[in-house]
Structure 1
Amino acid sequence: MVRIIRGLAHKYFSDDEAVILFLLLIIGTLGIIWLGHTLAPVIASVIIAFILQGLVTKLTDHGVPNAVAVILVYLLFLGVLVGFLLGMLPLLWIQLTSLAGEAPRIFREMQSYLELLPQEYPNLISMESINSLYQQVTSEAANFTQWLVSFSLSSIPDVMAILIYLVLLPILVFFFLKDRDVLMSALASTLPQQRPMMRRIWHEVNEQCANYVRGKAVEIVIVGGVTFVAFRIMGLPYAALLSLLVGLSVVIPYIGAAVVTVPVAMIGLFAFGWSSEFIWLMVIYGIIQALDGNVLVPVLFSEVNNLHPVVIIVAVLFFGGIWGLWGVFFAIPLATMLKAIFAAWPVHHGSQNEAT
């Protein structure tokens, strides 16, 4: 056993840089686990600045001075943030509360459709299982409605925290964009002077994660926007809420689309019934998903090393189990980062005798 451990240490940790990088990864992971909630505005600001830096770089490549590029991109970010807070967020809240009020009627409609299944498939589905499923879903819906209604004075501390975050977030994003080089130099000064392996890994991680994160941001906007327009044209209720869910679902490949299809189908069935409108809704929704997977994704992520579907599912389960919902959203970027690190990690192929 000792010999095996010594062999692995010699193979993967014979380089001093590898040991230092491994310790930094451990410290960073533990820091996020223990201080992630406290440092949430800082982490969110770093991610947003990381996304916006791509626009700054493109402007500077076209001859725009860096300071002017930072100001233009930051003003664009503020415009989008204010537009979302004053335009989209109230609409989403209105539709969410309306959906909570309509939930009992929606589930009664669904029950009437589900009760037809035991008659058509008596050997596969029983009425008892349908009633049990309906009671569980109704109970969860009632709990959600109760929580939504009770969102009042007891939630003032959480609202105040959100307001503080909304003040801190733009300030931090501005300084991360403006002083990016200064902050990076200060961080680099804490590392060894000679670090070719770390530079190679950083270049690989930065390229892969930057392309992925920025591509996903564009994909969310395009898919969500197209879905919103299609749902509004068809007259589907709660179009803004559903299109937001569809847009965010692209963050989790395969799983997200499958999960979001359920509420889209339920609202469509409630609004149109078993009619041609419902069929057209699902066809259009399927076309959007097909175009996203077969056209938009290859265009946006042509420079990103694609992860195997098994790796994606494992990453979602693993990071989601550690960090909950945030872990689910950032599972793919984290898996991409780990893949880039493993690809650039120095491996010593010497014999076992050298290790001993």
Structure 2
Amino acid sequence: MSEPNKGQEPDDRATRDRGDVIGAGILWLAKWALCVIAIAAGAWVLGFLVAKLWVVILPVALAIVVSTVLWPPTRWLTTHGLRPAAAASIAVLGFIGLLAGVIALIVPSVVDQAPELADKSTEGVNQVRDWLQGPPLRIRDEQLDSAVDAIVSRLQSSSEQIATGVFSGVSTATSVLVALFLVLVLTFFFVKDGPRFLPWLHIISGSRSGKHLEEVLNRIWVVLGGFIRTQALVSLIDAVLIGAGLVILGVPLALVLAVITFLGGFVPIVGAFVAGALAVLVALVGNGFVTALIVLGIIVAVQQLEGNVLQPVLQSRSMRLHAVIVLLAITAGGSLYGIVGAFLAVPVAAIVAVIVRYIGEQIDAATAAATGPETEPTPE
């Protein structure tokens, strides 16, 4: 018998039993299954707490969103010599005055024409149904009745749903006023004392954890501010262009439709689709088929401008979210928390993306430090 080569390493795979390999794989799968179950349980508990504390969480979330808008003017005022309290007060009062002015100019006409808008939309849906029943499609009544009834009831109850959906979980008018007051007070303190938060957090969490928290929170703040400001600009451009087209064509309720277009812009993808469909339906009933086609063309052109020019230029740098992620986030947020959930879904998804990216960066840095630079073998 020949002796084994002294320089030959023993093959570990030859000495391992097949059952040992299968058992190790099962243990690995069980470990990760338990991790997934634990994460799912934690997510369920978090969702339960959010639902129970929604009345508190909603004003805080809205105050943070408003603070991202008011922080630039507040910072400008403080850099020009005003104390933080005075600068925050001016910014908040200016925001209240601007909001009150917009409400005084727009809301009365919207409220007066909302029933007419619902009626015209209903007529448009019925007219479309008549066309679908005619040649060449000839769709039967029973196939359309359920869909038409759902759309009509949705349109007729839209104003009530909006009023109740904005503050889901806040049922009475007094609670709504209290929530609005709380949002304004929180916004004042956020823009006034915001710069003190990170140093305080650094002291509480320690230097190592505080460094990571500071970086993540700074990135989240930049993303939120960029989203709100750019979304407002994009929505304003859409509303101005589409509203001007509606006014030129003499479409009824042009101002109301422009306002709906602006508000719908804060719910990406879904809001633009709903506002555009509503404008086409009103034009169809009020001005006829040709005008409806022209309105459809204007809306498609504006949406192409938004999707191919405005959104990539203004939002891609700050959001960096795929359209599928945005759509799924809006669907989940709307189903859980209504209109406010759909509005907050994209910022929340962007925050989660920021955290995931930062964790990925830290993992890459740790693995690169562990492996070290690759060195070339020295020739003998």
Q: In which range does the TM-score fall when normalised by the shorter chain?
A: 0.7 to 0.9
| Corresponding residue for residue 82 of structure 1 | 100
Q: Is the contact between residue 56 and residue 66 of structure 1 (CA under 8 Å) also seen in structure 2?
A: no
Query: Contact (CA 8 Å) 2:63, 2:187: kept in 1 or not?
Result: yes
In structure 2, the CA distance between the partners of 1:109 and 1:227, relative to structure 1 (3 Å rule), is closer
Secondary structure, counterpart of 1:125 in structure 2: coil
- 3-state SS of 2:55 partner: coil
**Percent same amino acid at aligned positions?**
21
- Residue 323 of structure 2, aligned match among 295, 298, 309: 309
1:224 aligns with 2:242: no
Q: C-alpha separation between the residues in 2 aligned to 1:133 and 1:27?
A: 36
Q: Give the corresponding residue for 2:333.
A: 319
Q: Deviations over 1:102-124 (max 9, x none)?
A: 35xx53454344323333224x6
Any conservation in 1 of the 2:69–2:229 contact (CA below 8 Å)? Answer: yes
Distance in structure 2 (CA, Å) of the matches to 1:39 and 1:181: 22
Higher normalized contact order (CA 8 Å, seq sep 6+, divided by chain length) = 1
For residue 64 of structure 2, the aligned residue among 23, 30, 46 is 46
Q: Which residue of 1 aligns with 2:349?
A: 335
- Say if 1:115 and 1:130, in contact at 8 Å, map to a contact too: no
**84-93 vs 184-193, greater mean Cα deviation:** 184-193
1:221-277 C-alpha deviation (Å, 9 max, x unpaired):
3333443343334332222332232223333333332232221111110111113x3
Please give the alpha-carbon distance, in whole angstroms, between the structure 1 residues aligned to 2:59 and 2:273: 31
Within 5 Å, which residues of 2 pair with 1:1-356? 3=28, 31-57=49-75, 63=80, 65=82, 67=84, 69-100=87-118, 102-103=119-120, 107-108=122-123, 110-122=125-137, 125-141=139-155, 158-195=172-209, 196-275=211-290, 277-345=291-359, 346-347=362-363, 349=367
How far is the alpha carbon of 1:326 from its aligned partner? 2.1
User: Which deviates the most, 339-348 or 188-197?
Assistant: 188-197
- The answer to whether the 8 Å contact 1:51/1:210 transfers is yes
The runs of 5 or more residues in structure 2 that have no matched partner are 1-25, 36-41, 163-170, 369-380
Query: Which is higher, the Rg of structure 1 or of structure 2?
Result: 2
Kindly indicate whether the alpha-carbon contact (under 8 Å) linking 1:212 and 1:333 is maintained by their aligned counterparts in 2.
Answer: yes
Partners of 2:48 and 2:88 in 1: CA distance: 32
Q: Normalization by structure 1: what TM-score?
A: 0.75
Deviations 1:274-331 (A, max 9, x none): 13x3333222222222222233223322532421122222222333333333221111
More displaced 10-residue stretch of structure 1: 289-298 or 338-347: 289-298
Please give the secondary structure, in 2, of the residue aligned with 1:304: coil
RMSD of aligned residue pairs (Cα, Å): 3.7
Contact 1:231 1:239 in 2 (8 A): yes
Whether contact under 8 Å (2:68, 2:221) holds in the other structure is no
Q: CA deviation at 1:80?
A: 1.3
Aligned residue pair count: 324
Q: 1:142 to 1:181 in 2, by over 3 A?
A: closer
* Secondary structure in structure 1 of the residue aligned to 2:172: helix
**3-state SS of 1:179 partner:** helix
Write the deviation string for residues 16-48 of structure 1: whole angstroms up to 9, x where unpaired.
xxxxxxx9x999766533211244333322221
1:53 Cα deviation from its structure 2 partner: 1.1
Supply the AA of the counterpart residue of 1:212. F
Output the TM-score relative to the length of structure 2: 0.71
1:317 and 1:328 in contact (8 A); partners too: yes
Give yes or no for contact 1:110–1:270 (8 Å, CA) kept in 2.
no
Separation in structure 1 between the aligned mates of residue 160 and residue 260 of structure 2, nearest angstrom = 22
State how far apart, in whole Å, the 1-side matches of 2:160 and 2:232 are: 33
**Does the CA contact (< 8 Å) of 1:49 and 1:176 recur in 2?**
yes
